[in-house]
Amino acid sequence: MKIINVTDYEDMSRKAANIISAQVILNEESVLGLATGSTVIGIYRQLIEWYKKGDINFSKVRTINLDEYIGLVPTNEQSYRYYMNSNFFNHINIPMENTFLPNGLASDIKRECESYDHIINKLGGIDLLLLGLGLNGHIGFNEPDDSFENKTHCVKLSKSTINANAHFFKNNEVQPNMAITMGIKNIMQAKRIVLCVCGKKKSSILKRILYGSVTPQVPGSILQLHPNFTVIADREAMQLLK
Ligand code: GLP
C-alpha cells in the first residue's frame, strides 16, 4: 500500500489525474475503472483540461464504471450515466460505445449483473481502477455486510449511503434505494487501484479501512490486501493517521 499525502482537494485531483493520464499515455488502450461522487469530479475536470491542451488521447480507452442506481433513466441528472457523460465523456474524445455502466433499467437485473461481469472479462480486466470511499466504508456500492459479494450484484443501499448522497437530489426527486455494483472480486482483480479520500468527515473511516481489521462490515478494508493499491488523501482525511 502506498499513501500519497496531499494538501487539499485540488492537490488530490491533480495527483490522481496525473496517475490516470500516465496510465493512458503508456497504454492508449487502457481499461479504466471509474467512480462517481463528489470526490472524483475534480479529477475529471483536470483530465478534460489536459485533453483540451492535447496532452491525453482517449480515443482508444475503454471505461467501465463501478455502479449505477436502479430505476433512473440515463437522462435523469442523478443517474451515474448522466454524471459520467456530463462530467467527463462529453468533453473528451472517447467513443461512447467504449464507455460502460450497468443498466439500471434492465428488466432482468440478475442477467444484467452477469452480463456486466462478462463485459469486464471481455475487456481483459481493469488496468487502473479509481475509487472513492463511502462514509460507512463502502467501495462502489458494496455496503457493509456479513460477507463480501464477489461479482456484480444488486444491492439495497444503507441509510447512511442514502443520507450521504441525498444532497445530489432535489426536494421533489425520488432517490433510489437500490443499485447495481461491481463486487469485491471485480474490484480486487483490477491491476492497480487508486483510492481518493478527502475531508475531515472521512478521517475515521479512512483509518479503519487502512489499519483496522479486514472485514465485510468495512468493505474498503479489503483493499489492504491488494498488491498495487495507492491512497491519495488530503490533510483533513489523514488527520487521525499521523
Ligand atoms: C457513492 C458512490 C461511490 C463513491 C462514494 C463516495 O455512493 N457509489 O462510488 O465513491 O459513494 O462518494 P463521495 O465522493 O460523494 O463522498
pLDDT digits (tens, 9 = 90+) for 162-208: 999 998 898 778 899 999 999 999 999 999 999 999 999 999 999 99
User: Domain containing 17 — which CATH number?
Assistant: 3.40.50.1360
The residue annotated as part of the active site, out of 136, 142, 165, 186, is 136
Distance 196 CA to ligand 1 centre (A): 10
Inside any domain, residue 104? yes
Inside any domain, residue 144? yes
Of 170, 148, 174, the closest CA to residue 69 belongs to: 174
Inside any domain, residue 19? yes
pLDDT at res. 172: 79
For 111, residues 6+ apart whose C-beta sits below 8 A from its C-beta are none
* C-alpha pair distances (Å), 14 with each of 140, 161, 193: 22, 27, 16
Summarised one tens digit per residue, pLDDT across range 67-121 is: 999 999 999 999 999 999 999 999 999 999 999 999 999 999 999 999 999 999 9
Mean pLDDT of 45-62: 98
Summarised one tens digit per residue, pLDDT across range 208-242 is: 999 999 999 999 999 999 999 999 999 999 999 96
pLDDT at res. 170: 85
Q: What is the domain extent for residue 168?
A: 2-234
Distance 139 CA to ligand 1 centre (A): 8
Inside any domain, residue 239? no
Inside any domain, residue 174? yes
Bridge-partner residues for 234, per DSSP?
Answer: 6
Instruction: Give the whole-angstrom CA distance, residue 159 versus residue 154.
Output: 16
Q: Which three cell numbers stand for residue 182?
A: 461491481
For 89, residues 6+ apart whose C-beta sits below 8 A from its C-beta are 63, 96, 99
Distance 136 CA to ligand 1 centre (A): 10
The distance of Cα 99 from the centroid of its chain, to the nearest Å, equals 14
Inside any domain, residue 241? no
Inside any domain, residue 223? yes
pLDDT at res. 171: 76
Instruction: Give the whole-angstrom CA distance, residue 197 versus residue 218.
Output: 15
Quote the Cα angle for 215-176-185, to 5°: 30
Q: Which three cell numbers stand for residue 221?
A: 478494508
Determine whether 127 is an active site residue.
no
**Whole-model pTM over 0.95:** yes
Q: Among 39, 154, 175, 201, which is best to mutate for testing ligand 1, by the most ligand atoms less than 8 A from CB? A: 39
Inside any domain, residue 13? yes
**Total count of domains within the chain:** 1
Summarised one tens digit per residue, pLDDT across range 114-172 is: 999 999 999 999 999 999 999 999 999 999 999 999 999 999 999 999 999 998 898 77
Bridge-partner residues for 21, per DSSP?
Answer: none
